[in-house]
Amino acid sequence: MKKFLMAACLCCISFLPSNAETQGKWKPLFGNNLEDATYDPKVWSMKDGVLSATKDESIWTKTQYENFELDLEFKTDVGTNSGVVVYCTDINDWIPNSVEIQIADDYCEKWANDQPYARSAAIYGHLPAKRDRVVKRPGEWNRMRIKCEGQHITVELNGELVTEMDMSKWTSGTVNPDGSKIPSWLPKPFAELPTKGYIGLQGKHGDALIWFRNMDIRTLD
């Protein structure tokens, strides 16, 4: 009987997850009920699993992340101009101190005629997506997956890999590697930016809304 119990215990132990198996598990980006978020509750709210904002203010994680994968869904409004912000080291002055993956209504004339780096899945101000209008029309849900490993960032939109960046190639704060100009409000070379920081979502910009849902993250370490 003793040998049987020992064998049974060993069998049970073998099914316990190892530390490696428990690492990299998906979890809600902002925790349950936005408990891991820094935000203004008068601006941001969650209803039926959908996150939205009434002003152009961002919501931020309380945790800083490096080497991670972020998976989320978003829905644009007519004229939406929003984004996902990674590697942010200063949430009060985030624009020059972070990397923004653009979300926009690419079907809106304003953004369709803007610089390619201002359209969906672009690294705003620095690198256009490989294809235009992979984003769906306003009112339809899109899925975006962002992978950040040090200075390497990839963006998938609706199942298609559309953006790949090696930040080390952006050694100038005024000119991109392809010769195009970087907006003056983004003066810091990406090659010098830290690759660990807060993650944020940009809220309502102008008159256009943005909606998010199913926002999950896992670490890659």
Instruction: Record the tokens describing residue 206, joined without a space.
Output: 């102008």
Per the CB < 8 A criterion, the answer to whether 112 and 106 are in contact is yes
Q: Which CATH superfamily is domain 39-166+193-219 in?
A: Exo-inulinase; domain 1 (2.60.120.560)
Q: Each residue's pLDDT tens digit in the chain (221 positions)? A: 444 333 444 343 333 333 344 458 999 999 999 999 999 999 999 999 999 999 999 999 999 999 999 999 999 999 999 999 999 999 999 999 999 999 999 999 988 888 999 999 999 999 999 998 999 999 999 999 999 999 999 999 999 999 999 999 999 999 999 999 999 999 999 999 999 999 999 999 888 999 999 999 999 98
Residues 6+ apart with CB under 8 A from 15: none
Beta partners for residue 60, in sequence order: 38, 200
Residue 103 to residues 4, 73, 74, 201, Cα–Cα distance (Å): 60, 11, 9, 10
Distance CA 208, CA 60 (A): 20
Domain ranges, ordered by start, for the chain? 39-166+193-219
Mark residue 87 as left, alpha or beta (left: phi above 0; alpha: psi -120 to 50; beta: remaining).
left
pTM value > 0.75: yes
Instruction: Record the tokens describing residue 150, joined without a space.
Output: 């040090």
